[in-house]
Structure 1
Amino acid sequence: MIEPAKTNATAQTDAKHRSRSVGRKFKFVIVAAVLLCALWAGGWFWANRIATERIAAMKADFIAEGGVIGCTADQLGGFPFKFSIDCTPASLELPARGFSASVGALEAIALIYNPGHVLASLRGPLELQAQMAQGLGPIDVEANWSSLETSVRVGTSRLKRFSAVADDLTSTISAPADPRIPTAARAKHAELHLLQNDSDATALDLATTVDGFAATIPGAPTLPDLSAKLYAILPGALPELRDRHVDPLPAWLAAGGQVKLGQLSIDIGGFLANASGDLTVARDGVISGRVAIRVDQLEKLPDLAETIHPGSRNRVAQILGPLSAFLKPVQVDGKTWRETTLTIKNGRVSAGFIPLGRLPPLKLGNAAGIAGS
């Protein structure tokens, strides 16, 4: 027979052993957590120092070229999970090139576990002054927005992705030497995405969207608001990063200036158009290729053409008659469109044997000369 006193003593001893075991485990967890926090903090401050040194080196190179950087933040913050810099306001100047830009505030963030991905938020207003190419004189831009955010991802040797999204964008523009440039522009929403192509590391995917866009051009009539979407692939337009700079235009022209147009959709004044096809841009900016185009509300085109170019309504209406013979009805997403293929040869556009006009060459500046060298 077991005595009750011994049973109680044994139970108390077992309880003490369990309590000590739990206490040791708890102390181990605390010590491990403290060590992990210390290692994390040490790693953050080490990475912060490396990043700060690189930023300082880039800033020194920029200043050595005559540039001026204005930013109230001297060090990176964001401990413990990110690196951040907050400049209020922020400015950048290259006096020798006649360039300057400033914004109300700039905040950039990089997560510590993914420093190659940088998020940035800009607060207006933007003030920009620059010299246009080909001696066209200065251009001044003032802009503001309700939201403007950007995202950049960089791989080991190439840009992975750049995105910019803006809402309620408004701007005023002054370029006295070139009256073709709008004096004001606005957009309800706008997006720009540049991505590395999944199957070709040297190809650039371009995707952009704009809603509620309107521009004011001196001497030109006021056009209806425009909405548009574009997706295209530019083979060869994503060169390797060299000295932290990317200059895709010369590389793209040297690779043949190809444009694989996946989609271009436009909605202006009720007239709808969608285009897709393959194009090439020569070093002199002249466009060639074949494009499949779908249209809807074609009857609105003459009035729209008259708004853009007074006196053109009758000519456009005359072209629409024979052009309709080349337009076949197609059903897309439950909607009936009219479709045909346009041929572009050295800038001249035609549908079958019907000439439709000429596309002006793109202005490529010095890129053509660089690509050809």
Structure 2
Amino acid sequence: MIDPAKTDATATVDAARPRSARRKFQFVIVAALLLCAIWAGGWFWANRIASERIAAMKADFVAEGGVLGCNAESLGGFPFKFTLDCAPASLELPSKGLKAQVGAMEAIALIYNPGHVLASVQGPLALKAPGDLGVEANWTSLQTSVRVGTSRLKRFSAVADDLTTTINAPANPRLPTAASAKHAELHLLQNDADATALDLAGTVDNFAATIPGAPPLPALSAKLYAILPGALPELRDGHVDPLPAWIAAGGQVKLGQLSLDVGGFLANASGDLTVAPDGVISGKVAIRVDQLEKLPDLAETIHPGSRDQVAQILGPLSAFLKPVQVDGKTWRETTLTIKNGKVSAGFIPLGRLPPLRLGTAAAIAGS
């Protein structure tokens, strides 16, 4: 038999379940709407703060005599990022004789990672610098990325494809008049083991340059990885000047890899170097080479009249080159000693490295 009391209780429970489910669903909807409202309010508040910061930076730049140009500026990116678009973008510092303009620029900051800023720049670039230096450049892609920690730069990266430039430098006729690269990258990173050390990595593929009065140079490809201890000081007012800090820390260069491929001549170098406040280089470098027989013709192309001199050096130098197997390839290896800019392999002098131009900041740091 059916118990009427149980039947009524079951009906009551069944009627209560839909009401309970509706309340939960309504609560989820209200919570979601409230969260969206808080998120939107926070985004617009942060957007206003960002707008004020950008306006303050512009005001400081103008107060120093600078001029900023942006014909079409917009700040957006709701709801998960902030974007700043400017087309075309230009800046000018008349006191320093500097003026630059690009076709367009877009900067992106992720709202959940405000210390990471991405930027994309569209060409062409028109640059005027002191000494009547003029540069025009274009590319198919140019992107940068900056990550900043609480007190130091974490990472800076720049990647460019199909880069072409023309250079006009009346004051320095030795500069190239044109340069190009199929691909180029530059990465500056905070070292994992030493927060004050800077990791430097870069690569360039099919780099070519035209130098006035010189024959066409062969295309060059290169890779670089090095550590610069002490070259990553703390940020001060959003600015950092690594050169004086690096020189004051000893100007050390821990060269992990420098590889070159130019005209079929291959070279790899690694070692420890130091750079003095006056730019003079010292240290020891292990170097591996391949296709050494191509070096005299390459030297003649770069510096006409040097073929015979380089060929004469290669004879005795070969005695210091021992064969080594690396990645299934036979290289010739030796160690170069650099003392106050003078380069030698054993007792054979190879020439002198010109001092680096470090500027007055490095000289002050080393004083």
TM-score, scaled relative to structure 1: 0.95
1:90 aligns with 2:89: yes
Aligned to 1:111: 110
**Aligned pairs for 1:262-301 within 5 A:** 262-301=256-295
The amino acid across from 1:242 in the alignment is R
* Separation (CA, whole Å) in 1 of partners of 2:340 and 2:237: 36
User: How far off its partner does 1:7 sit?
Assistant: 7.2
Aligned partner of residue 37 in structure 1, secondary structure: helix
The amino acid across from 2:67 in the alignment is V
Aligned to 2:246: 252
1:258 to 1:71, Cα distance in 2 relative to 1, 3 A: same
1:349 aligns with 2:348: no
- The answer as to whether partners of 1:52 and 1:75 remain within 8 angstroms in 2 is no
Aligned to 1:242: 236
Query: Identity of aligned pairs, percent?
Result: 82
Aligned to 2:205: 211
1:328 aligns with 2:322: yes
* Separation (CA, whole Å) in 2 of partners of 1:282 and 1:369: 9
* Separation (CA, whole Å) in 2 of partners of 1:268 and 1:210: 12
Q: Render the CA deviation track for 1:253-287: whole Å, top value 9, x for unaligned.
A: 12111111000000001100000001111111111
* Separation (CA, whole Å) in 2 of partners of 1:288 and 1:367: 20
How many residues were matched structurally?
Answer: 367
User: How far off its partner does 1:155 sit?
Assistant: 1.1
* Separation (CA, whole Å) in 2 of partners of 1:303 and 1:97: 42
Gaps of 5+ in 2: none
Aligned partner of residue 326 in structure 1, secondary structure: coil
Aligned to 2:177: 183
Aligned partner of residue 164 in structure 1, secondary structure: strand
Aligned partner of residue 218 in structure 1, secondary structure: coil
* Separation (CA, whole Å) in 2 of partners of 1:72 and 1:17: 63
- The answer as to whether partners of 1:73 and 1:85 remain within 8 angstroms in 2 is no
Aligned to 1:34: 33
Aligned to 2:42: 43
**Aligned pairs for 1:143-222 within 5 A:** 143-222=137-216
Aligned to 2:51: 52
Aligned to 1:2: 2
- The answer as to whether partners of 1:258 and 1:281 remain within 8 angstroms in 2 is yes
- The answer as to whether partners of 2:102 and 2:124 remain within 8 angstroms in 1 is yes
Aligned to 2:132: 138
* Separation (CA, whole Å) in 1 of partners of 2:17 and 2:51: 50
Aligned partner of residue 56 in structure 1, secondary structure: helix
Aligned to 1:227: 221
User: How far off its partner does 1:328 sit?
Assistant: 0.7
User: How far off its partner does 1:318 sit?
Assistant: 1.5
Aligned to 2:127: 128
**Aligned pairs for 1:55-94 within 5 A:** 55-72=54-71, 76-94=75-93
User: How far off its partner does 1:50 sit?
Assistant: 1.7
The amino acid across from 2:273 in the alignment is L
* Separation (CA, whole Å) in 1 of partners of 2:37 and 2:293: 71
The amino acid across from 2:112 in the alignment is Y
